[in-house]
Structure 1
Amino acid sequence: MPSSHLNRRTLLLGTASTVGLAAALSGLTWARGFSPQQEHPPNWPGMKPYGAADIRKDLWPRADNSRVLALELRPRDEELGRVWIRDTYVNCFVVDGKPCYVATGTTRATGLESASPWNDGIFVWVAESLDGPWELVDTTGLRPGAEKGKVWSPEFAGENEPGRTVVAPWQEYWRDEEHGKRGNVWAPEVHHFRDTWYIVACMGDHSRKVGSFMLKSEGGIEGPYRVVEGNLDKPFGDLAPRGPEWIDPKVYYHIDGGLHAEGDKAWLVLHNHLYAEFTDDMEDIVQKTKLPRFEQVAYSPEPYLEGASVIKHEGKYYLMHAAWNKKSENPDGGERHAYTPGGERYQYDAIIAVADKFEGPYSKRWTAGVGAGHNNLFVDADGELWATFFRNPVAGYWADPARQGDAAVAGVVRMEWTGPEGSRIYVRRRQG
């Protein structure tokens, strides 16, 4: 059952100085400076000062470069008419010589407005084409009484048996007087590596322990899944500094874990700029504590970044983060946008840096997609580069009541590579 990413590319997926809007933005699209003799679109000049956010419409997912996937509805989705999903993840693998598209993300339980203080696990959709139909993976043979497509949940703790842990104690639901039922799983990624299906995800802010973990399938993409040995007692890595004030610092580890594979090796990529190689049996990470950090050009000051992932594309490594583009006022009264700790949240962007090596050093970051933060990149069966997006409903542009009906979606947007000389990836920009 051989598997690989298409074109032998391993693609994952899945923020300070400021500047006045008038000085930062240009109304020109890239095509106006693009000659027919050029094989690749050009780089845009870096925003100045470093840390300024680019908000040009060319970098937005638009009707001409993106779509929302029609995922099969569950009973809970019927009223809304679509799947409510955050941290949208889509990928394409070759399995038994055929493309297999997978989709997942953070979903909410019936009756809740968000994925907190609890949700009911991880759902997976599959398709033979990006155009669909997108169907819930068939789990009915494993759990006839459970909702179709649910591949893992804290609800499955009763399936634990000696030598096989489906739900670790720290992942189980719990209760307190303030919130009642607690425990949520966030930002899952599905991977097919060395003929085995894996899911990397994190237990969210309301869990007994907060942090990243990995599940390993003992069958197909539908499971059954179990927790790997390195996560039986806790999430990967060390406790994370500077977590939310309301969370006990003794239970807060690094979140938003992902997997980067290259050849027969795989690495864990963690929130807060960390990475670690997996053991050969994929049951744990080799270096379990004091994990190495990517070498980056940080903003000054560095804001809170999320959703880190690494891709290898055309011989280069691209390190991507999600960053809030903050809106504030210039001394002259004009509007400014930047990846800075302070300011009003405007859009949840995807920012990227590039390097010759996985660990870096990485270049300065650039805005790759406006409102496309916490995403991943993948190559479709035709060799086209895409990214996911979900339109963050928590704050900013998509929290506006007039737009909330179009937020939290399973979106995909076409991307473009600026060639070996430019070595940048952007949302596909307008061509006229």
Structure 2
Amino acid sequence: MLHRSDIQIRDPFVVPVPEEGLYYLYGTTDRNAWSGPGIGFDVYRSRDLEQWEGPFPAFRPEAGFWGIENFWAPEVHRWRGMYYMFASFKAPGRRRATQILAADGPLGPFRPLSDRPATPPDWECLDGTLYVDRQGEPWIVFCREWLQVTDGEMYALRLSGDLAETVGKPVKLFSATEAPWVRSTVYEAEGQPDVRGYVTDGPFLFRPAERELWMLWSSHGAEGYAMGIAMSASGEIEGPWMQEALPFFRRDGGHGMLFADLEGRLTLALHCPNRTPDERPVFFRVKTEGGTLAL
């Protein structure tokens, strides 16, 4: 068994399976996810969010898979009796993109639904997440990379019922600088001039009430990597989206998500600190209070 503090992971995503009395933990698990060939994604399981079994190999690329590097931020969602993984990959000469994979159970193995990513092929994209609207229709919500557009963007794109195809065109939700708390960041690349821009990372959609729709998402704030909250004025994915003035989690942590624990308590998962190889999964009890989230 491993203690939570023993697990190096970025972008933690927790799937409770009540019928098993277990939690499954996914995330960016390559030791150095920034460079070199990607190995895959591991999953851990636990009864109490503190002691964990694993790692188990949830995904390993098979021959012919297009992704080579930057295996980032897998999320797993239960949809129509299956488990679907939304994860980001990149390869030389190809844009970073989110691919959708599927498995019969939470341990995998997860395999691609199709031979191409769900995000637009000429866009640099990452951190796709599943959103199901009030009509029961699925969408992928994803980030368009600041490295391509400078001011990172958030988009939604409708999916077919089996999640294998996209439907229509992407809908822009907002840009990073619409949030007052966001600060610029610098990407230092060897042999290249520094690139400065504004990050959009890690969207996660949730409804605190029937006609409300909120989004957790991450960027860089005044005290480092941080996480803010956006709210849809219409309660629908198309928005318009309003940004809270201050980040919800402000210092050296982010890429969060929410889940109900096995006792029904709302719980926040994120990684902290934001430096490799020290990142660890962290969990907080949260509640909706005063029109926002409170730790």
Which TM bucket (shorter chain)?
A: 0.7 to 0.9
For residues 276 and 127 of structure 1, do their structure 2 counterparts lie closer, same or farther at Cα, with a shift above 3 Å needed?
Answer: same
The separation in 2 between residues aligned to 1:123 and 1:220, in whole angstroms, is 14
Indicate the SS of the match to 2:254. coil
Quick one: which amino acid aligns to residue 357 of structure 1?
Answer: E
For residues 234 and 380 of structure 1, do their structure 2 counterparts lie closer, same or farther at Cα, with a shift above 3 Å needed?
Answer: closer
For residues 225 and 378 of structure 1, do their structure 2 counterparts lie closer, same or farther at Cα, with a shift above 3 Å needed?
Answer: same
Query: Could you tell me whether the CA contact under 8 Å between 1:88 and 1:105 is conserved in 2?
Result: yes
Q: Which has the higher contact order (CA 8 A, sep 6+)?
A: 1
1:275 to 141, 156, 159: 156
1:106 aligns with 2:28: yes
Q: Name which one, 1 or 2, has greater alpha-carbon Rg.
A: 1
Quick one: which amino acid aligns to residue 214 of structure 1?
Answer: I
Paired position in structure 1 for 2:42? 123
Paired position in structure 1 for 2:188? none
1:352 to 226, 229, 238: 229
Quick one: which amino acid aligns to residue 35 of structure 2?
Answer: S
Indicate the SS of the match to 1:369. coil
- Correspondences of 1:287-366 after superposition (within 5 Å): 287=168, 290-294=169-173, 298-299=178-179, 303-315=198-210, 316-326=212-222, 346-355=223-232, 356-365=235-244, 366=246
- Correspondences of 1:151-170 after superposition (within 5 Å): 151-154=58-61, 156-157=62-63, 168=65, 170=66
Paired position in structure 2 for 1:409? 280
Paired position in structure 1 for 2:86? 200
Give the Å deviation of 1:295. 5.6
2:11 to 82, 87, 108: 87
Quick one: which amino acid aligns to residue 186 of structure 1?
Answer: W
1:135 to 53, 60, 81: 53
Gaps of 5+ in 2: 144-152, 184-197
Normalising by structure 1, we get a TM-score of 0.55
User: Is 346-355 or 384-393 further displaced after alignment?
Assistant: 384-393
Give the Å deviation of 1:107. 1.6
Give the Å deviation of 1:184. 2.9
Paired position in structure 1 for 2:3? 70
**Once the two structures are superposed, what CA deviation does each residue of 1:398-432 show, in whole Å capped at 9, x if it has no partner?**
xxxxxx78x300111222211xxx32113x1xxxx
Q: How many residues align?
A: 263
Quick one: which amino acid aligns to residue 370 of structure 1?
Answer: R
Normalising by structure 2, we get a TM-score of 0.78
1:424 aligns with 2:295: no
Indicate the SS of the match to 2:230. strand
Give the Å deviation of 1:260. 1.9
Aligned-pair identity (%): 22
1:386 to 267, 270, 274: 267
Gaps of 5+ in 1: 1-68, 72-80, 137-147, 158-166, 174-182, 241-252, 327-345, 395-403
Give the Å deviation of 1:381. 1.9
**Once the two structures are superposed, what CA deviation does each residue of 1:291-327 show, in whole Å capped at 9, x if it has no partner?**
012267914798322112211222221112101113x
Give the Å deviation of 1:362. 2.4
The separation in 1 between residues aligned to 2:43 and 2:218, in whole angstroms, is 23
**Once the two structures are superposed, what CA deviation does each residue of 1:7-54 show, in whole Å capped at 9, x if it has no partner?**
xxxxxxxxxxxxxxxxxxxxxxxxxxxxxxxxxxxxxxxxxxxxxxxx
Query: Could you tell me whether the CA contact under 8 Å between 1:106 and 1:115 is conserved in 2?
Result: no
The separation in 1 between residues aligned to 2:97 and 2:163, in whole angstroms, is 18
Paired position in structure 2 for 1:329? none
Structure with the bigger percentage of strand: 2
Query: Could you tell me whether the CA contact under 8 Å between 2:205 and 2:216 is conserved in 1?
Result: yes
Query: Could you tell me whether the CA contact under 8 Å between 2:76 and 2:84 is conserved in 1?
Result: yes
For residues 325 and 235 of structure 1, do their structure 2 counterparts lie closer, same or farther at Cα, with a shift above 3 Å needed?
Answer: same
The separation in 1 between residues aligned to 2:133 and 2:236, in whole angstroms, is 12
Paired position in structure 1 for 2:190? none
The separation in 2 between residues aligned to 1:98 and 1:114, in whole angstroms, is 31
Query: Could you tell me whether the CA contact under 8 Å between 1:91 and 1:378 is conserved in 2?
Result: yes
The separation in 1 between residues aligned to 2:203 and 2:214, in whole angstroms, is 10
The separation in 1 between residues aligned to 2:70 and 2:92, in whole angstroms, is 6
Quick one: which amino acid aligns to residue 134 of structure 1?
Answer: W
